[in-house]
Chain A
């Protein structure tokens, strides 16, 4: 296997399992806790986030490489990236409203909130810090975003299925709702630690 393909496979597997965005890296906990009450909305949210992350990683890569680096303005990365992400989310929102109104209705308030999802900005910033070489190229950067989004989807769908049971469980009054859900999420994170022995590159 060529080393480039190996790197791509490594990015995919690590973003999905060993370095899962939510359960290991703690990017995007807010929507993870907020939209995980039903499996259906969890899948919709995961798909929307995956799409936005893919597009955002492509766009921020272009902004970084064609605008910020040539002009020596890397310290503006955070500001430039968040603006790019906010406008992509706005476009996605308008597109969904016109063409897929049912999904638009289902996602509701969480659609504009993708802007403030740490996972999107986090992926863009990690890409920007990759430095030189093949990893900093266009394809690995976009793949990292998409794979991170898939990892997000995997975690949120798994968690939504656990949470349905947890919410009906009988636990001490002060643990009801959020605390017990966090502990359940912790147990899923514990299970994901089992993947940490899996090193591809």
Chain B
């Protein structure tokens, strides 16, 4: 279980290593509120769809499995979408079309195909949880960096009545980081950092074995 957790968080992180679900990662990572909201939604959908697909894996015929998975995922996404619209209208507005677009987020379909269709219900639920946490962590890091360096705030939408705590004076913020360019740049740097970290860990493990 610990191995599965580390895989989700770092060595097989869906965003940083498997490079899945990049659209939403870059598009909405401009405030902490967005990041946590999106991360939690995707995690819930991942757990639910993994559990259901794993439970139905012997019933679904293999040649139409992708279509069946998409329908299951779309069902859960619609539920989460309606719940967010009802209880968190602010979040619904700032995430916009990217909540329904979780349907085509490759992470969810990827885990269904690669894990849930081959493993039991319990293991699939855990896999969904850990992969979701990995996605959320990567998303939150990008959000914090872009928000802090772009607007000089921390926790926008959540803390201090939605304004966020001003850490760097707003005039010094590099506004460019809140624009599309910042999304590409910060994600690129974060993937580079994670590759460096994974390589270093592998090296240490090899030395430890000797």
Chain A residues close to B by CB (< 8 Å):
23-30, 33, 75-79, 82-83, 86, 112, 115-118, 121-122, 125-126, 129, 172-175, 178-183, 185-187, 189-190, 192-193
Contacts and interface: CB of A to CB of B under 8 A. Distances in A.
B56 to A, nearest CB: 17
Interface centre among B74, B75, B192 (most CB of A within 10 A): B192
8 contacts: A29-B26, A78-B103, A79-B75, A116-B109, A117-B104, A180-B192, A186-B182, A187-B181
B97 interface: yes
A187 B182 CA distance: 10
A29 B97 CA distance: 15
A115 B179 contact: no
A79 B100 CA distance: 9
Interface centre among B78, B105, B183, B184 (most CB of A within 10 A): B184
Given A82-B70, A83-B74, A116-B104, 4 more contacts: A26-B24, A182-B188, A186-B184, A193-B180
Contacts of A23: 180
A152 to B, nearest CB: 12
A29 B181 CA distance: 14
Contact of B81 (A24, A78, A181, A190): A78
Interface in B1-45: 19-20, 22-24, 26-27
Interface of B: 19-20, 22-24, 26-27, 66-67, 70-71, 74-75, 77-78, 81-82, 97, 100-101, 103-106, 109, 176, 179-185, 187-189, 191-193, 195-196, 199
Contact of A122 (B97, B182, B184, B191): B97
A25 to B, nearest CB: 7
Chief secondary structure at chain B's binding surface? helix
Contact of A83 (B19, B23, B71, B101): B71
B26 A77 contact: no
Contact of B19 (A33, A129, A185, A192): A33
Contact of B187 (A86, A117, A129, A182): A182
Contact of A29 (B23, B176, B192): B23
Contacts of B184: 182-183, 185-186, 189
Contact of B101 (A121, A172, A179, A187): A121
Nearest to B81: A78
Contacts of B19: 33, 178
Contacts of B74: 78-79, 82-83
Given A29-B23, A126-B97, A179 B188 contact: yes
